[in-house]
Amino acid sequence: MKVTMIAHTPNPDIVSAAAAKLTHSKTAPDELLNDEPEKMKKLLKSVVGMGHTSVIEHAYFTFSIEGISRACSHQLVRHRMASYSQQSQRYVSMDEPQYVIPPKIKANHKLKNAYDEAMHNIWGAYNALMKIGIPAEDARYILPNAAKTNIIMSMDGRALMNFFELRCCLHAQWEIRELASQMLHAVKEVAPAIFENAGPMCKTRGECMEKAKDCPNYPKAESRAKGD
């Protein structure tokens, strides 16, 4: 997959910090943006650390996501607080086999060959349907969850924090976990204060909703007690 941030709110840390400071200030909103950047970021970290994350809803981030599977995109759109535009299998011809191979299948030569053969048989049937005049909107029904797709997605900072808590977890499905990891790396480049402590819930809250005590990242008892 390829994940690229193609747009974001200018100065997302400062905009969010100004929103946080505004709630306790008589200063006009546009004047708050002129405060010392490092002081603003320190304030933002403190506010977000206390759980007051509504202020980071003012920061938006847009990603170009290429080459994920339809299986992954079905998981992605379960995150309601986002905007999506997805490549259509109705209007875009899928005549060339393009599909994702799970790592555990790719690692086994015999399984990979069988997998590739199944995929090429599916695409052969798809193209055969297209050649006899079946419309793409009907022929696409035969395509697999492994078929690649492209998406443009936008989320605000608060929705992204929740997304990372769920999808950076080691118990998340491997493909969307990789997607979340790449997205997290991208947002930290442009909004380091907002996303300083972003990641799976074991990191952000010292909790494990999966109750997976065998996980190497499972919070220690003292961390859970302190909320670290």
Domain with residue 173: its CATH number is 3.30.1360.170
Is residue 195 in a domain? yes
Active site residues: 167
| 99 and 79 in a common domain | no
**Tens-place pLDDT, residues 83-115:** 999 999 999 989 999 999 999 999 999 999 999
pLDDT band at 225 (very low <50, low <70, confident <90, very high): very low
Task: Give CA–CA dist 187/168, Å, rounded.
Answer: 14
Dist. CA 13–CA 56, nearest whole Å:
8
In this structure, the answer to whether residues 132 and 34 fall within a common structural domain is: no
Identify the three-state secondary structure at position 103.
helix
Band (pLDDT 50/70/90 cuts) for residue 228 is: very low
Domain count for the chain = 2
Closest CA to 157 of 13, 24, 32: 13
Tell me the per-residue pLDDT of 140-152, one tens digit each, with 9 for 90 and over: 999 999 999 999 9
Q: Tell me: do 99 and 117 sit in the same domain.
A: yes
The answer to whether residues 123 and 179 belong to one domain is: no
Look at residue 226 and tell me whether its pLDDT is greater than 50. no
Average pLDDT, the chain: 91
What is the per-residue pLDDT across 173-202, written as a single tens digit (0 to 9) for each? 999 999 999 999 999 999 999 999 999 988
Alpha carbons 167 and 16: distance in angstroms, whole number: 24
**Domain hosting residue 43, numbered range:** 2-84+148-201
